[in-house]
Amino acid sequence: MGDADDAPEILYARGVTDGLPVVPPTADRVRAAVAASGRDGDELIGLVAPGLGRATVERIAINAVLAGCRPEYLPAVIAGVEAICDPDFALVGVSGTTDAVTPLLIVNGPARQALDVNCGAGVFGAGWRANATIGRAVRLVWANVGGAAPGVISMSTFAQPGRYSYCIGEREEASPWEPLHVEHGFGARDSTIAALAAEAPQIVVDAHHRAARDVAATIARSAEAIASHTQGDLGDTVLVIGPEHARTIAGDGWSKADLRAFVWERARAEIDGARVPKFRTPASLHILVAGGAAGRFSAWVPGWPFPGAPSRLVLKRIVQR
């Protein structure tokens, strides 16, 4: 370590890493990644804010190699880059906010198995190469191509560990409801990535109740702490239901729409002495099932938590050409 010929040290000195060691993006490695995408290296995928850098397939591949991606991950990384470049994601604002948001990526469809994306136990944690490196690659594209350098453009007061990588899969097989991508108009056999400018997950524990209404009430009450109990009118937010909670809720005949409507109605903020809706609309709540089979937990993943914040959940198809 520290030798002038050590590639990770040189790349760190150039400011193109996230502080962790990286894989040197040799020409052979980059070519293999581009080839796995089935696209031309100079194809433009998007302009990455805040600097509007040109995210070509080759530049995305370079960052994917840096992140440690296998070549076959590149279509998923490209879809993630497409998602954060979508105007609805509002990457310009996300890049400069003082809040602790970063792109949360959610994988749906057959790509979950094909790429071995973790959807189960420890879904937000370490141990799976696909989750770790796909999320990391999109984050590096944002920094290296878009110019969102920490402390220079990115002025988050605290930031969060998800700024290294923040990528999960939906555990569709454990869900009693249709998956996230199908709700948004994709086919069940389509592979997609969803992106949300998101804070760290907030775990909800309810190990006692065995009725849908009681578990949903716990989840709704927990939502009142997002940002603060005085903060309402929140935009897009992800609610991750653990499989045990999902079985309890669906076992009483509740649909995902029932859960969404109940939580929206019950979750309230206190503003000027009045209790007002915590979320802007019921549609602001995006519900999916993920996590381990054991444990009566769910999790809130707050989006950009300020009234009027324009960042929305964006879904893109993973295309293998």
Q: What is the DSSP string of 111-141?
A: HHHHTT---STTTTSSS-HHHHHHHHHHHHH
Query: What pLDDT score was predicted for residue 2?
Result: 45
Sorted by where each begins, the domain ranges of the chain are: 7-199, 202-301
Which residue in 239, 253, 223 sits closest to 283, CA to CA? Answer: 239
The rounded average pLDDT for each run of 10 residues, N- to C-terminus, in the chain (321 residues) is 71 95 97 98 98 98 98 98 97 93 98 98 98 98 94 89 97 98 98 98 97 98 95 95 98 98 97 94 97 97 79 95 82
Query: What pLDDT score was predicted for residue 308?
Result: 65
Query: What pLDDT score was predicted for residue 94?
Result: 94
Tell me whether the omega of the peptide bond preceding residue 310 falls within 30 degrees of 0, making it cis: no
Query: What pLDDT score was predicted for residue 154?
Result: 84
Q: Which residues contact 165 (CB under 8 A, 6 or more apart)?
A: 67, 131, 132, 133, 134, 135, 136, 139
Q: Which residues contact 28 (CB under 8 A, 6 or more apart)?
A: none
Query: What pLDDT score was predicted for residue 19?
Result: 96
Q: Which residues contact 280 (CB under 8 A, 6 or more apart)?
A: 233, 234, 235
Q: What is the pTM of this model?
A: 0.96
Measure the CA–CA gap between 186 and 193, rounded to whole angstroms: 11
Query: What pLDDT score was predicted for residue 309?
Result: 64
Query: What pLDDT score was predicted for residue 194?
Result: 98
Q: Which residues contact 2 (CB under 8 A, 6 or more apart)?
A: 9
CB atoms within 10 A of CB 293: 12
As a three-state string, the secondary structure of 162-229 is HHCCCEEECCHHHCCCCCHHHHCCCCCCCCEEEEEEECCCEEEECCCCCCHHHHHHHHHHHHCCCCCC
